[in-house]
Structure 1
Amino acid sequence: MSEAVAGRAGAGGGVTRAAVTAAAVVLAVFVADRLSGWLPWFGVYPAGWELPVSDWVSSVMEWLLEDAAIGGIGFRSVVRGLATLLSAPLEAGTVVLAKGFELPFGDAGVAVPALSWLGVSAALVLFAARVGGRRLAVLIFLTVAYLAFFGHWQSAMTTIASILVAVPVGLILGLLLGLAAYRQPVFERVLRPALDLMQTVPIFAYLVPVLVLFGFGPVAAVVATVIYAMPPMARVTIVALRGVPEEILEFARMTGCNRRQMTWRVLIPAARQGLMVGVNQVIMLSLNMVIIASMIGAGGLGYDVLRALRRLQIGDGLEAGVAITLIAIATERLGRALTDGSRGQSRLPRRQFGMLLAGVVALPTLAGLFWSPLAGMPEALTVSTAEYWGQLVAWVNTELYQPLNAVKSALLVHVLIPFKRTLVALPWTGVVAALGVLGYRLGGWRLAAAVCALALFIAVTGHWEKAMITVYLCGISVAIAALIGIPLGVWSAASDRVHRVTTTVADTLQTLPSFVYLIPVVMLFQVGDFSAMVAIVLYALAPALRYTDHGIRGVPAETIEAARMCGCTPRQIRYRVQLPLALPEIMLGLNQTIMMALSMLVITALVGTSDLGQEVYIALTRADIGAGLVAGLCVAFIAMMADRLIGAWVARRRAALGLA
């Protein structure tokens, strides 16, 4: 009984603190708005106070390219050497998997085809059957069949060739950085903010310096993919190594292991299960990058989607997008099977099975020299649904235009535009002060100073209005995603059958490349803020759903049983016990929803938004390094402010609930 009373008291105190904080935030904005009538700079940041940070960044990059040297070797030469080092395996993989090559025999030479589609498909199915059983083999079979019969085999192999280079580089760099951070706490304190920036700066922002340094081509695409996909491996490595039981380390010390043996023969093998999660994340993020990488020279499926989007060829774009999604899902399932250590039915030892796979790939490839259908899928056997999608577009434009346009216009007039005008009109001093109040109430002076400094950077660089438009579009999208995802997560937690369906939906939403969302959205709603909002909601919906489901299912069984013994109904248990206890987890899901919404904003710049994402995209088209990086940092700082504030609230709430 005393615990219940204490809980109610804590809840009442929480309500009081929330009310005081809300009042202080409103007061800060109101006072700043009143003062702006006498002192205009309280309302609008003066242009004369802006600092040319983008020019400084561009000057530093120019110095790096023209004058900087490492060990007497020019920085440009180092970059070119790195590009040459990456181009060799990339070209080799593309030749073997997609292009083939020519041997200089005779006058005309002998053309050697790429690996046979039939041989590669059969080998993949056999491997899947061995590591994951029949169901995984069926999934792999359906994936390779789709790639072959829909005419995407060669593009898929070009994509996989780049992935086979980017993923190992990302894994090695992430592992080494994580290991160094595990060994040196000082380095970890430096590394974490860098990883935060790498994961929150929009992808397009660092495409600009990559493009300037490495030029237009597949190598630049691989470098950008590594930068995007590597941070999760570093984070997972730190967590996995710290999770190794102390008794294992103590036993290794007692046996006389030196530092190298301790690392590579004890720590890494003991943390293998956790490290495989990082491997899976790097693969998935690399596949998510293929369309964006195609903008700076990567070919393959990403270029197919990008070309279809530019030409508004809905059917071709969806087919290529589905191909990327199937590869991502199949790879994720394959990685999960390897991580879990599950195995299908196979009596062959590992070496003999490897020889079998090599034979399965080699025989059709050699036979393809004499019979071309084995070398490549005959065009006569390929199919396409592009025509039907075109007919669907025509039907939508004629039959559904008026009702869809009515919904779009109503939301624009009554929700989006008023909210946008309100945010843009807020005084910048009031917003900064309100953020400081929130930071102080949630985490003390250090958090308040941090969020104020991040907000001031946005104002000082002249991006305040664009930042408010970004907050408006992201805020509306996150609110709608939460209104859809949280109730679905509650429903999913209450039913195993619904859980299986929602898990599949969430997996699909998270594996679809971000560009793919633009195709049906543009088809239905044309371009503009509303189309961007719909695409962001679809892309960012999954975390809200998944974290709500996970949080409710994670409530201890003894707590639920105690509520039943007190006479609570199932509805009371759900909404007065499980949801309050799961609220910290739900807020973490909301935090992830914000991160994904901000990462999608740059993509939606292609459909006519006017926020920071558009600034980053314009900088990419002009190869303006300074403008792109500064606008990208502004997006990253918005993400970091949201992350720090929500994280502080979650920590306080967990402590209040005794979950810390």
Structure 2
Amino acid sequence: MSRPGLGPWVWLALILATVGLMMLPKGGWLVSFPEAWEIPFTPWLNAFMDWCVDVFGPAFRAFSRVMDVPMSVVRDVLNWLPWSVTLVLLTYASYALSGVRLAIFTFLSVLYMVVIGYWSESMNSLALVAISVPMAVGIGFGLGTLAFFSNRAERVLQPTMDLLQTVPAFAYLLPILLLFGFGPVVGLIASILYAFPPTVRNTMLGLRRVPQEVIEAGLMAGATGPQLFWRVRVPSAMRQILLGVNQTTMAAFSMVIIASIIGGTADIGWEVLSTMRKAQFGESLLAGIVIALMAMVMDRLTAAAAEVEPKEPVVGETFVQRYRVWLVALGLGVGTAVLAQIIPALTDYPRAWEIYPAQYLNDAVTYLVVEHSGTINAIKTLAFFFAMLPVKIGLEQTITPFSWGFEFTTTLKLAYAALALAVTAWALMSGRRQLAILLGFTGVLLFFGLTRLPWPTLLAMGTLLSWQLAGPRLAIGTFLGLGFLLLAGVWPQAMLSVYLCGLAVLLSFALGASLGILAAEYDGVSAALRPINDTLQTMPLFVILIPFVMIFKIGEFTALLAIMAYATVPAIRYTEHGLRNIPKEVLEAATAIGCTKSQLLWRVKLPLALPVMMLGLNQTIMFGIAMLVIAALVGTNGLGQQVYIGLGDGDFGVGIVAGIGMAIIAIIADRLTQAWSRKRQIELGLKAE
């Protein structure tokens, strides 16, 4: 873990310095960052935004009116088409791309939207995606190509993409509203901004991975620069680019509800939002499932399209043979449309045939809350007082006769300190220096609480960890990022966010890794978890909140559970992927020397899969931070709450500073986990230095 000259003694010195500062009668500026040192970023940003609105506002609003035309056209066309035609065409597309299983899933998914009575709302949401995705892909492809040809452009684009993908969408809703005005196009712009970065990254990656021999073959064939790009590089990189299109499509679907907040369209996102505000669990869940199903269908279709090998022209092939799939689709569409004119139910699904079981779902939740209120309250109380508060404000302030049933006397405090020192000394004398550092820091953290620790030592620890894992460049970036949080005056809110998200990530990763191990060992567990994972990743974040709010009410424990529900999925998937893709020859060699199944798992599979699992931890952190803003709706404090305050008060500065603060935390966590993963891969010989 350490580089030469930066050993564990520096860490232990920082831990002791933390204790020393906390023991001072009045810590002053050494513990709490002085307000007099803060820089007034907020009024400066508001003044800049006012200038932008005055100068560029008319042009942006004119663009908004222009873009409203294609949005209206697409929305009208999708609503004009009989539902049966859309159902048949999507089902056939699924069959042509992936076979019978996807076709059946698509058929049932689209039919659900019809039967549940949300067809028109679903088409309005699909119109937003149908416009935003091509525009996002076009922008992303153009910028990705520019970054491929220009190193200077790449250096600018990389941090820009990081910011766009880590700054919460709510943080930039206000400037979009101020510039473009209220309406559906505002939601379109927000979706494009959030959705195009994956295409940029995958375009760059795809173009770079084109084999050199392919390029040389194109040059030998006499291809010009444009021909080499469009006829050699792009076709060779198409699979990777299409994976970017897949991710862009999923990102656009994840913005459906947020787009409804500022767009005011009668779409499925608005249905989720309005029913959630009324605490109607059944109604919001049924509407949320529509978004999840649309996202899953489009995910499967675009992923299948990315796997299709380009078809080379065949000598003597007729027009019908070459375009058979398209001609069949045209025939099915026209035939279904004609049939819909004969059978009215194929055009307008009868209301009497709709099935809407919302009330049954509401009754089930009510029954659970009423009949098991004692158990629910006990779980909530135990988790809050015995796990969450110690991490937040420390055992020193948590242990009281009211919460734990006894007083945290001086004798008990000294006993705790002695125990923490003993286990740290034991680990140090055993040669386990990293464990000693971890135990020492954990002991201090649990005693004082993360939100009360002095800023100088936390700043030093973050910088030191970055230096040890990735060198001076990341250390400088971490120092500047954390310094911004201090100077902007959002350090206390940042620590509240780190506390809640950090605890959720640790629990999510522990749970997800355990389930991932089971899924890798047993195919039945993997098959059972796959649809659950798909649903949790495609279900709108707002909807994930609702069952927890209904059962556990407003509070930090509810937010913790909601974050865990969303953030556990990548830990499951990456753990399973890492364990299932260990080279067979390694497993055969371990088995040949007599490893039991347990030894094979703990001493061979897990160590080799750990770098991939750390990528899962990386994504778990990203998912947790993304959910923080949504969790702020249920009463949590922190940067997420600041984003809402800025949006609600029309204060651009407050919202964007908080959003940048969340992005800084996310980027630092991302770089640290990636650096650790790289280092571990090098140690295992899986990657060259």
TM-score by length of 2: 0.86
Query: What is the rounded CA distance, in whole Å, between the counterparts of 2:377 and 2:309 in structure 1?
Result: 51
What's 2:98 paired with? 132
Alpha-carbon spacing, 1:20–1:263, altered in 2? closer, same or farther (3 Å) = farther
Amino acid corresponding to residue 47 of structure 2 in structure 1: S
**Structure 1 residue 373 corresponds to structure 2 residue 345:** yes
Query: What is the rounded CA distance, in whole Å, between the counterparts of 2:19 and 2:474 in structure 1?
Result: 23
Which of 19, 34, 55 is 2:43 aligned to? Answer: 55
What's 1:101 paired with? none
Which of 293, 303, 306 is 1:326 aligned to? Answer: 293
Alpha-carbon spacing, 1:561–1:602, altered in 2? closer, same or farther (3 Å) = same
**Structure 1 residue 627 corresponds to structure 2 residue 663:** no
Which of 597, 610, 627 is 1:583 aligned to? Answer: 610
**Structure 1 residue 640 corresponds to structure 2 residue 683:** no
Contact 1:486 1:545 in 2 (8 A): yes
Query: What is the rounded CA distance, in whole Å, between the counterparts of 1:356 and 1:523 in structure 2?
Result: 48
Contact 1:29 1:434 in 2 (8 A): no
Kindly state the Cα deviation for residue 293 of structure 1 after the two structures are TM-superposed. 1.2
Which of 492, 516, 519 is 2:543 aligned to? Answer: 516
Query: What is the rounded CA distance, in whole Å, between the counterparts of 2:345 and 2:309 in structure 1?
Result: 35
Kindly state the Cα deviation for residue 49 of structure 1 after the two structures are TM-superposed. 1.2
What's 2:432 paired with? none
Which of 251, 254, 257 is 2:223 aligned to? Answer: 257
Amino acid corresponding to residue 621 of structure 1 in structure 2: G
| Per-residue deviation, residues 610-641 of structure 1 (Å, max 9, x unmatched) | 11101101211222211111100001101111
Amino acid corresponding to residue 36 of structure 2 in structure 1: G
| Per-residue deviation, residues 532-575 of structure 1 (Å, max 9, x unmatched) | 11010000011111111112223222222332333322211211
What's 2:141 paired with? 175
What's 1:87 paired with? 68
Query: What is the rounded CA distance, in whole Å, between the counterparts of 2:498 and 2:587 in structure 1?
Result: 39
Contact 1:551 1:582 in 2 (8 A): yes
Contact 2:96 2:325 in 1 (8 A): no
Bigger relative contact order (CA 8 A; separation at least 6): 1
Contact 1:489 1:548 in 2 (8 A): yes
What's 1:189 paired with? 155
Contact 1:32 1:42 in 2 (8 A): yes
Query: What is the rounded CA distance, in whole Å, between the counterparts of 1:375 and 1:623 in structure 2?
Result: 44
What's 1:542 paired with? 569
Q: Report matched runs for 1:127-526 at 5 Å.
A: 127-297=93-263, 298-341=265-308, 349=321, 351=323, 353-358=325-330, 360-362=332-334, 372-421=344-393, 422-526=449-553
Kindly state the Cα deviation for residue 187 of structure 1 after the two structures are TM-superposed. 1.2
Contact 1:175 1:233 in 2 (8 A): yes
Contact 1:33 1:42 in 2 (8 A): no
Contact 1:49 1:460 in 2 (8 A): yes
Query: What is the rounded CA distance, in whole Å, between the counterparts of 1:391 and 1:571 in structure 2?
Result: 45
| Per-residue deviation, residues 60-118 of structure 1 (Å, max 9, x unmatched) | 11112223xxxxxxx224313432342221110111112xxxxxxxxxxxxxxx11111
Kindly state the Cα deviation for residue 589 of structure 1 after the two structures are TM-superposed. 0.8
Quote the sequence identity (%).
39
Query: What is the rounded CA distance, in whole Å, between the counterparts of 1:221 and 1:313 in structure 2?
Result: 24
With 195-204 and 131-140 compared, the bigger mean Cα shift is at 131-140
CA RMSD of aligned residues (A): 2.2
**Structure 1 residue 115 corresponds to structure 2 residue 81:** yes
Query: What is the rounded CA distance, in whole Å, between the counterparts of 1:254 and 1:88 in structure 2?
Result: 47
Alpha-carbon spacing, 1:490–1:188, altered in 2? closer, same or farther (3 Å) = same
Q: Structure 1: 5+ residue runs without aligned partners?
A: 1-10, 68-74, 99-113
Query: What is the rounded CA distance, in whole Å, between the counterparts of 2:368 and 2:156 in structure 1?
Result: 52
Alpha-carbon spacing, 1:370–1:496, altered in 2? closer, same or farther (3 Å) = closer
Paired residue secondary structure (2:356): coil
**Structure 1 residue 551 corresponds to structure 2 residue 578:** yes
Query: What is the rounded CA distance, in whole Å, between the counterparts of 1:64 and 1:291 in structure 2?
Result: 27
Paired residue secondary structure (1:271): helix
Alpha-carbon spacing, 1:202–1:353, altered in 2? closer, same or farther (3 Å) = same
| Per-residue deviation, residues 295-324 of structure 1 (Å, max 9, x unmatched) | 111441111110110011111101011111
Query: What is the rounded CA distance, in whole Å, between the counterparts of 1:240 and 1:474 in structure 2?
Result: 33
With 550-559 and 185-194 compared, the bigger mean Cα shift is at 550-559
Alpha-carbon spacing, 1:653–1:22, altered in 2? closer, same or farther (3 Å) = farther
| Per-residue deviation, residues 346-388 of structure 1 (Å, max 9, x unmatched) | x974646535534544566577678753432121111101110
| Per-residue deviation, residues 99-139 of structure 1 (Å, max 9, x unmatched) | xxxxxxxxxxxxxxx11111221222222222222212111
Query: What is the rounded CA distance, in whole Å, between the counterparts of 2:325 and 2:619 in structure 1?
Result: 42
Query: What is the rounded CA distance, in whole Å, between the counterparts of 2:148 and 2:503 in structure 1?
Result: 39
Amino acid corresponding to residue 376 of structure 2 in structure 1: L
Kindly state the Cα deviation for residue 455 of structure 1 after the two structures are TM-superposed. 0.7
Query: What is the rounded CA distance, in whole Å, between the counterparts of 2:334 and 2:591 in structure 1?
Result: 64
What's 2:420 paired with? none
What's 2:404 paired with? none
Contact 1:24 1:434 in 2 (8 A): no
Query: What is the rounded CA distance, in whole Å, between the counterparts of 2:545 and 2:27 in structure 1?
Result: 43
Query: What is the rounded CA distance, in whole Å, between the counterparts of 2:548 and 2:234 in structure 1?
Result: 45
Kindly state the Cα deviation for residue 440 of structure 1 after the two structures are TM-superposed. 1.9
Kindly state the Cα deviation for residue 284 of structure 1 after the two structures are TM-superposed. 0.9
Query: What is the rounded CA distance, in whole Å, between the counterparts of 1:357 and 1:556 in structure 2?
Result: 43
Query: What is the rounded CA distance, in whole Å, between the counterparts of 2:684 and 2:17 in structure 1?
Result: 30
Kindly state the Cα deviation for residue 428 of structure 1 after the two structures are TM-superposed. 1.0
Paired residue secondary structure (1:376): coil
What's 2:594 paired with? 567
Alpha-carbon spacing, 1:287–1:350, altered in 2? closer, same or farther (3 Å) = farther
What's 1:110 paired with? none
Alpha-carbon spacing, 1:66–1:650, altered in 2? closer, same or farther (3 Å) = same
Amino acid corresponding to residue 352 of structure 2 in structure 1: A
Q: Structure 2: 5+ residue runs without aligned partners?
A: 311-318, 394-448
Paired residue secondary structure (1:84): helix
Amino acid corresponding to residue 96 of structure 1 in structure 2: V
With 646-655 and 571-580 compared, the bigger mean Cα shift is at 646-655
| Per-residue deviation, residues 581-623 of structure 1 (Å, max 9, x unmatched) | 2222111111110110000010111111111101101211222
Contact 1:115 1:361 in 2 (8 A): no
Query: What is the rounded CA distance, in whole Å, between the counterparts of 2:387 and 2:7 in structure 1?
Result: 26
What's 1:97 paired with? 78
Alpha-carbon spacing, 1:164–1:580, altered in 2? closer, same or farther (3 Å) = same
What's 1:45 paired with? 33
Paired residue secondary structure (2:97): helix
